[in-house]
Amino acid sequence: MIIKMNSRTPIKYTVLIIVFCICIMNISCSGPVGEKKPPMKSEREISERLMEINRYVVKRNIELTENFVRRTGWDMKRTETGLWYMILKNGEGRIPGKGDRLVISQEIWLLDGSLVELKDSEKVRSFTVANGEVEAGIEEGVLLMRKGSEAKFILPPYLSNGDYGYSNRIPSGSILIYDVKLLEAFPND
C-alpha cells in the first residue's frame, strides 16, 4: 500500500503515518515474537573471562618457551616479567641505566627457527632507556648487559610485538628470540 501525501494532507495524519511506520520497522527488526535474547554479561563477567583467557595464553607461552629452552639445551634464566635471557659474552664498563642512550645490533628469530628478515636500518637500533622506544623485553634485557656484551633473549608476545605482530614479518602473538650485542652505551648526563 502506497500512501500519497500532498500539501493538503493534515499534519496530524502525516505525524501519525510516520509514527506507524517507525513502529512497524521496530517490530520487524526485533526478531520473531517470543524470541528471548541472551542476557548481556556484566562488565565484571567480561573482565573475568578476559583475564582467564589471558592467564591461559601466558601459561601456554611459558610452556612453549620452557620446552624450547629444554630442547635447545640453552642455560637461560627467566625474570619475573617473563623475559628469558642468556649472556653469551660479558662486556666491560657499567650497566646502563635510565636515560642512557644505547646502540644495539640485533637478529630476530621465530621460535620455529625462521630468521625474521630485517632491513639494514632495523639491524642496528639506537634508543634511550626507559623512553618506550623499543620493545619492553629488549629494554629489560639490555639493562643486564655492559658495553660489548652479547646476549640471547626470548621474549613472550607481551614483551615484544604482542597481538599485533610486525608488518608481514612477525606473526601476531609470536614468541621471539633476539640475538643482541650492546655496541655503545652513552650515559645520561
pLDDT 10s digits, 73-122: 999 999 999 999 999 999 998 899 999 999 999 999 999 999 887 888 78
Q: Is the dihedral of CA 134, 139, 140, 142 positive or negative?
A: positive
pLDDT 10s digits, 35-83: 666 666 788 888 898 999 889 988 999 999 999 999 999 999 999 999 9
Whether 106 contacts 119, CB under 8 Å: no
What pLDDT is stored for residue 37 in this prediction? 62
Query: In degrees rounded to 5, what are phi and psi of residue 176?
Result: -120, 145
CATH architecture for segment(s) 47-186: Roll (3.10)
Q: Around Cβ 150, how many Cβ atoms within 10 Å?
A: 16
Contacts of 138 by beta carbon, 8 Å cutoff, 6+ apart: 104, 106, 153, 155, 160, 178, 180
For the chain, the C-alpha Rg in angstroms (whole number) is 29
At 135, list the grid cell: 620493545
At 143, list the grid cell: 639493562
Q: In a 3-state reduction of DSSP, which class is residue 104?
A: strand
Burial letters 12-31, b for 16+ CB under 10 A, else e: eeeeeeeeeeeeeeeeeeee
At 67, list the grid cell: 620446552
C-alpha 23/C-alpha 27 separation (Å) is 6
What pLDDT is stored for residue 59 in this prediction? 92
pLDDT 10s digits, 126-137: 999 999 999 999
- What does pTM read for this prediction? 0.73
Q: Around Cβ 38, how many Cβ atoms within 10 Å?
A: 5
